[in-house]
Amino acid sequence: MSDPQDNTIAIVSVDKIQRSWQDLTLRVAQLETGNAALEQENKALRSLVERVIEHRQKSHSELVNLLATLVSRLPINDIGVVVARLVEHNQQVNEVCAKLVKGKLDDNLLQPAILKQLDKTKRDLAAAYQPEVAALIKADAPYEAGLLQSLLEKPDHFFSPAFSRANRGFVKGQVARERILREFGEEALLFFKDVTTDVKFNPRPKPEEIMLAFKPEFAELLQQNPNAVAAKRSELQSLQQKIRASRENSDLARAQKNAFARLSFFLELLHYYENQSTESPDVVFAQRLPPLIEQVAIPVDRDALDEKLILSAEAMLALVISPDQRKSVINNIGKPGGLARTLRYTLTFRAEKLSDIDPLTMECVKHLIPQGQTPTPAALAGVLRFFNPHMQQACLRAIANCDRLRKEEAEKIAKALAKELGQEEVVSRISQHSNLSPEKERELAWNHIKDLIGSRATPNEIIGVIRKRFQSHYDAEELKACWIVLTEVDAMVFVRVFCLFPYLADGSTDPIARPILETFVSRLTHEKYAATYTKVVHALKNLFKVKADSPALVNFIALAKWVDPAAAEKISKDVGIS
């Protein structure tokens, strides 16, 4: 057996305890002091970490703000993707920083203006599409029961295959085969004709993609087949009446189409802003939205524009954040011509302020005054009245100089228009202009071109106006005026316009281009214009450093060699081209 353990605790004397008590008390006090010091150090460290994280959070938000401002100047195709990534990255950084400090996000963080505008626009679009859904429901549009109501909770349902088929059916007066089978059964198919299956182009369509249309003899078939869909004959008749009503030229049909166009616009734009990283802006702003604006602003039964509808279209366009994307929508309106193209110029000239020699202004005048036709001043005034006052004056001056009318007739129409629009100042200017000397008229014309260059017009627009001037007036004085205007602006403008002189819009060579370029190259290499030569060579050197095969550089040297090989060799040597 093992020996029993002795658990007896040795008794310590009171004297010994009293001798050790003071030392124990001292050690406990030292530990408490050290603990207090550690607590203070921890608090100081925590405060320092919080300050560092907060500074990091704010500095990152400021950085995103700066980047977002720069992003807004990128090409249209890049804005959506970059902004979406910035938003996602900024949200992740804020969440991590908040969890490190407080565990929740702070709503008062600095947010870039473009992101604030994006959030506000999303809220505005979410609030704007709901009344249109209610309008379609109230107008008794031929949609399946509950389909429109589902948009109020899930707007993205609008882009589902089922809703896309329903939309196509609403526009074309058709109905999906699967809906007829679901609501009325297979026996109801004898009242419809298949408009999807085609022996040659689509012999075996998917069952869910087959669309049907009521047969013209629907009423006779319904009487001849009293037992078909006997329980739901009234519902089938109601559906046929709804579809027929939506296709008629009535107030109800117009209300349905207008509500559908507005609903489509709001949901397309909202879907793009929610999915910028995956949606193509070209498809949305150049293809999908322009037809919707046309449908809202130009009813089928109208042959003239209505200011109320124009204001409605402008309110819709105001929800497009980027000015470039807004212009993209407007510029893709009216491709076939007609009243839709008039709408395009109207929407543009209500906001823009262009000169009378701007290519877009001259294009508008040519649209309003077709070749071989002379519209009445009243008809022209009905369109120009929608423009802002600046563009009214610019278009009046352009009409007075229109090459599709005789000068006397053009001035007469412009004066009549000016009086009808209340632009009496333009009348006096046109009268003064008709009495100008050739020298004064030349000065005004080239001053206009100089203003066009100053407004940062593209080289193609500049060369178009210059070429038009040379076609009507070509002499030594005109060449001199052109040289003065082009050499007073940025050297790169001179280089790019110089490169475009020989080429007409149809690809042929302008017959007067060679003598013009010969004059320019001769002047450029003359010692009298040494300062201009230095500016041009410096611009070409920069092009050569950035990209040795730059088209502007290569074309400039090639055209100079075309008219004067010796001058081209001198320019190449000074630029540094071996």
Which pLDDT score, from 0 to 100, does residue 330 have?
93
- Burial class for 27, CB neighbours closer than 10 Å (0-12, 13-18, 19+): exposed
Sheet holding 192-194, edge to edge: 175-176, 211-214, 192-194
Look at residues 552, 551, 498, 500 and name the one whose alpha carbon lies nearest to residue 520: 498
Look at residues 88, 91, 106 and name the one whose alpha carbon lies nearest to residue 50: 106
Q: Which residue has the tokens 């106006």?
A: 465
Helix axes 491-500, 530-546, angle to 10 degrees: 80
Listed as ranges, residues in the chain with pLDDT below 50 are 1, 108
Which pLDDT score, from 0 to 100, does residue 75 have?
59
Using left for φ > 0, alpha for ψ between -120 and 50, and beta otherwise, residue 96 falls in alpha
pTM of structure: 0.65
Instruction: Give the separation between CA 401 and CA 469, rounded to whole angstroms.
Output: 12
Instruction: Give the separation between CA 494 and CA 501, rounded to whole angstroms.
Output: 11
Which pLDDT score, from 0 to 100, does residue 108 have?
47
What pLDDT digit, counting tens, does each position of 498-511 carry?
A: 888 888 877 778 88
Tokens of 365: 């005048």
Which pLDDT score, from 0 to 100, does residue 371 have?
79
Looking at residue 507, what DSSP letter applies? S
Which pLDDT score, from 0 to 100, does residue 437 have?
67
Which pLDDT score, from 0 to 100, does residue 158 have?
93
